[in-house]
Amino acid sequence: MQVRAVAFAIAVFLAAPQAQPRTKDIVAAVTAYVGRYQREFVQLVADEQTTQRVLTRGSVTATRESRGELFSTFLDDSGAWMSLHDIQTVDGEPVTGRLDVRVLLRSHSIRELGPQLAASNSRFNLGRVSRNFNEPTLALLLFAPAHVRDLSIDRGARNVAADTAPLVTLRVRLGDDAPLVRSLTRRVTTRGTFLVEPDTGRVRRTTVTFDDGEVTAELDTSYDADAHINVWVPVTFTERYAARKTAEVIEVRTTLTNYRRFETSGRIVP
């Protein structure tokens, strides 16, 4: 009888449901993770391959493929990531008159080069929607101190099974008075979805949508572990811009590989 009683007790114990983390605890874990990430995802360079296409009323009107390198770091004083796109080939042809980022970073800071290279690289953007916020890590700033207090956060209805850990979906909305990006003429509505590990706060995927009434922009980033630098890094980054007046849609897909630290005598510095 004692053996049966012990076996029954063990069975009941094993069948008891595990306590689910509270939403506020998950938010705290994600916020802490993003804080650490701002110190880890710095001075990095990755190989970048990007495909763009423009659709007008459902028909493809233009395509472009580019390859190059993406240099990224976090700027503490401004509380933002900055990415520099060193586009080296477009549709298989070398870029002429290119500003070589590797050479420039040996004598200039990434902050100094940002405006100059943003203007230079924008010439390869297809479509009529002006855009300059194409950092894969942009959505993570919603959980930085400057914005997390202004978020409305709802937890997804159920957990999602993953290869190594259970995942939780967090749906967020940022108040219009504290925008993550700005429009030249209108207020911007910001919404996002985060797929996270509830215990560690690690972010596996982000989707953020910006809408100013004229253009809707959706940015989606998937992360994976990189054993070489021991950081979870963006591996795919997709962008979609839809303009209401012109019925134009711009779709951009970027794959990022071969991450490494960029360290020379003129290292990337803020």
The pTM (predicted TM-score) of the whole model is 0.86
Query: What integer pLDDT is reported at residue 269 of this predicted model?
Result: 44
Distance between CA atoms of residues 43 and 191, nearest Å:
29
pLDDT band at residue 146, thresholds of 50, 70 and 90? confident
The three-class DSSP label of residue 124 is helix
**Boundaries of every domain in the chain:** 21-261
- Terminal CA-CA length for the chain: 71
11 or 49, greater pLDDT:
49
Mean pLDDT of the 37-50 span: 93
Identity of residue 149: R
Distance between CA atoms of residues 83 and 107, nearest Å:
17
Reported as type and span, the H/E element at residue 216 is strand 215-226
Identify the burial level of 92 via C-beta atoms within 10 angstroms of its C-beta, where 0-12 means exposed, 13-18 middle and 19 or more buried: exposed
Distance between CA atoms of residues 75 and 163, nearest Å:
33
Residues 6 or more apart in contact with residue 20 via CB below 8 angstroms = 159
Whether 103 shows a pLDDT value over 50: the answer reads yes
Question: What confidence tens digit (pLDDT) does each residue in 147-193 have?
Answer: 888 899 999 866 666 666 789 999 999 977 767 777 776 788 999 99
Distance between CA atoms of residues 136 and 238, nearest Å:
9
Question: What confidence tens digit (pLDDT) does each residue in 197-218 have?
Answer: 999 999 999 999 999 889 999 9
Distance between CA atoms of residues 82 and 73, nearest Å:
6
Closest CA to 65 of 85, 51, 80, 79: 51
Mean pLDDT of the 111-132 span: 79
The three-class DSSP label of residue 256 is strand
Asked if residue 242 lies in contact with residue 55, where contact means CB atoms within 8 angstroms, the answer is no
pLDDT band at residue 18, thresholds of 50, 70 and 90? low
Measured in degrees and rounded to the nearest 5, phi and psi for residue 14 equal: -70, -30
Q: Within a 10 A sphere around the Cβ of 58, how many other Cβ atoms? A: 7
Given the candidates 1.10.10, 2.60.40, 1.10.1240, 2.50.20, the CATH classification of the domain at 21-261 is 2.50.20
Whether 16 shows a pLDDT value over 90: the answer reads no
